[in-house]
Amino acid sequence: MKQLALILVLVCSGLIAQAQGGGPIDKDTKIGSCGYNTQGGADTFPWSLAQPFPWDTIQGLWRVSDEPDQVVRMRVVREDLKVKHLSVDVLSRRACASTMKGVGLVTAAEKNVVRLSLTDDQGETHLMKLAFFDTRDLRLDQNICGASVLAATVVHFDGEGEDDIADDQKPVEQSNMMLKKITDSTDFHCKKRSR
């Protein structure tokens, strides 16, 4: 009987903790396993609160929290005192291939945010913003998410090529995500399923 009472107390405590955390989050507004809610618009994350970008530890493979099929490979491809370039390759585990790739850098406007121009396998252009945040700034649970998180917004623009972005094209589609590091290695291995 005491064990049953203890189990009930633990279950109720878990339900109360979930309720205090805002309850279940609609799948369409959830970002990552941390449950960050989007507010709409292209700049969902508070980019001005971004921490200094982790250039020394960014290299490696990162898992997209809500998309188990996607892995993001990041490499610092140029680094000197004034400029650092980050190469990003979005990989599909299912297709065992790259789906988007590009290179980005930090601009003077947002010193801790990397902006990348990505091209997908159909030749369409996407803008990715990537930054590192303290979980408290995003009002996330540090016990679940850790002390900091890597967040990204990818915006697809209507048109082809980077020139269309400069012409103030309106974003057609936006994805917000959090990334979790898998490994420091940039080697991507997948097993193709035989049919």
Residue 2: pLDDT band (50, 70, 90) is: very low
Please list, in sequence order, all residues whose beta carbon lies within 8 angstroms of the beta carbon of residue 78, skipping any fewer than 6 positions away. Answer: 84, 85
Q: How many domains does the chain have?
A: 1
Residue 194 domain-assigned (yes or no) = no
Residue 8 has which token pair?
A: 């009930």
Question: In this structure, are residues 64 and 91 in contact, taking their beta carbons and an 8 Å threshold?
Answer: no
- pLDDT tens digit sequence for 75-127: 999 877 778 899 999 999 888 889 999 999 998 788 899 999 999 988 999 99
Quote the domain boundaries for residue 104.
25-183
pLDDT confidence band for 45 (50 / 70 / 90): confident
195 located within any domain: no
Is residue 17 included in any domain, yes or no? Answer: no
pLDDT, tens digit, 9 for 90 and up, residues 14-29: 322 333 333 332 333 3
Is residue 10 scored above 70 in pLDDT?
no
Residue 10 in any domain: the answer is no
Rounded Cα–Cα distance for residues 187 and 70 (Å): 14
pLDDT in tens, 121-150: 889 999 999 999 998 888 887 887 788 899
Give the residue, 59 or 191, on which the prediction is more confident.
59
SS (HEC) of the chain: CHHHHHHHHHHHHHHHHHHHCCCCCCCCCEECCCCEECCCCCCCCCHHHCECCCCCCCCEEEEECCCCCEEEEEEEEEECCCCEEEEEEEEECCCCEEEEEEEEEECCCCCCCEEEEEEECCCEEEEEEEEEEECCCCCCCHHHHCCEEEEEEEEEEEEECHHHHHCCCCEEEEEEEEEEEEECCCCCCCCCCCC
Q: What is the CATH number of the domain that holds 175?
A: 2.40.128.30
